[in-house]
Amino acid sequence: MALSVALLTSRADCDKVLNELSDIKGNLEFRQISLTRSKDNAADRASTIDADLAAAEAEVTSLIAIIAALPESATKTEMENRKVRADYRLFTLQQRKAQFGTTAVILYESELGEIEQRLSVIDGSMNDVTVRKAALPAG
C-alpha cells in the first residue's frame, strides 16, 4: 500500500511522521530481539522436554502394567501412588512442551516473520517520507 505522502506539505510534518515511524520501528526491533531470544531458549529446551516426556510416558505405561498384575496390598497402593505422581509429571511436561517446546518454537518463528514484514513496510514508509521531505522547499 502506497503512502499518501503528498499530504505532507512541510518538512516539519515529515519530521513528525519520521519520528513516529522511528519509535514504532524501535519498539518492533526490541520485540524482535526478545522473541528471537525466547525462540532460541525454546529450541534448546525442546529436545530435553521431548526426552523427558518419552521417559514419563514409558514410566506411566509400565506402572499401569505393574498395577494390573499386583494383588491388593501395600505394594499395589505404593505403585498406584507412584502412578499418580508420574501422571502429574507427564501433565506438567506436556504443559512445558506447549509453552517451551517445538510448538512454541514454531509460534515464535511465525511472530518473528510478522515483525520482519512490518519492519520492511516501516522502512519503505520512512524512505517514502524522506524522499518527500527532500522534495519540499526548506523553510
The answer on pLDDT for 105 being more than 70 is: yes
> Beta-carbon neighbour count of residue 132 at 10 Å?
20
Instruction: Give the model's confidence band at 119: pLDDT under 50 very low, under 70 low, under 90 confident, else very high.
Output: very high
Within 10 A of 38 (CB to CB), how many other CB atoms are there?
A: 17
pTM of the model: 0.67
Q: Kindly state the average pLDDT of the residues 88-95.
A: 93
Q: Report, as an integer, the average pLDDT of 110-138.
A: 95
Per-residue pLDDT, averaged over 89-95, amounts to 93
Q: What digits encode the pLDDT tens for the residues 22-72?
A: 999 999 999 999 999 999 988 888 888 888 999 999 999 999 999 999 999
pLDDT value at residue 1: 64
For residue 35, what is its C-alpha cell?
522473541
